[in-house]
């Protein structure tokens, strides 16, 4: 997992693709929200967001 993020960082550094970082962060946050809210008491509040 560590090398995965290292590879991404090197890609962004070499290609100067800084504009992709916010997009990946949003996808990561939404993915974590879906995983952690899958079977918890937070589910009704997640539906309100979408």
- Cα separation, 43 vs 20, in Å, equals 29
Structure confidence at residue 1 (pLDDT): 66
Whether residue 50 has pLDDT greater than 70 = no
Name the H helices within 1-50. 2-15, 20-36, 43-49
Task: Give per-residue pLDDT as tens, 6-45.
Answer: 887 888 888 887 888 888 889 988 888 777 777 667 667 7
Residues 20 and 12 sit within 8 Å (Cβ to Cβ): yes
User: Which residues have CB under 8 Å from 46's CB, separation 6+?
Assistant: 33, 34, 37
pLDDT at 46: 67
């Amino acid at each position: 997992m560590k090398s995965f993020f290292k590879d991404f960082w090197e890609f962004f550094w070499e290609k100067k693709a800084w504009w992709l970082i916010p997009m990946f962060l949003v996808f990561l946050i939404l993915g974590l929200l879906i995983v952690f809210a899958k079977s918890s008491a937070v589910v009704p509040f997640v539906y309100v967001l979408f």
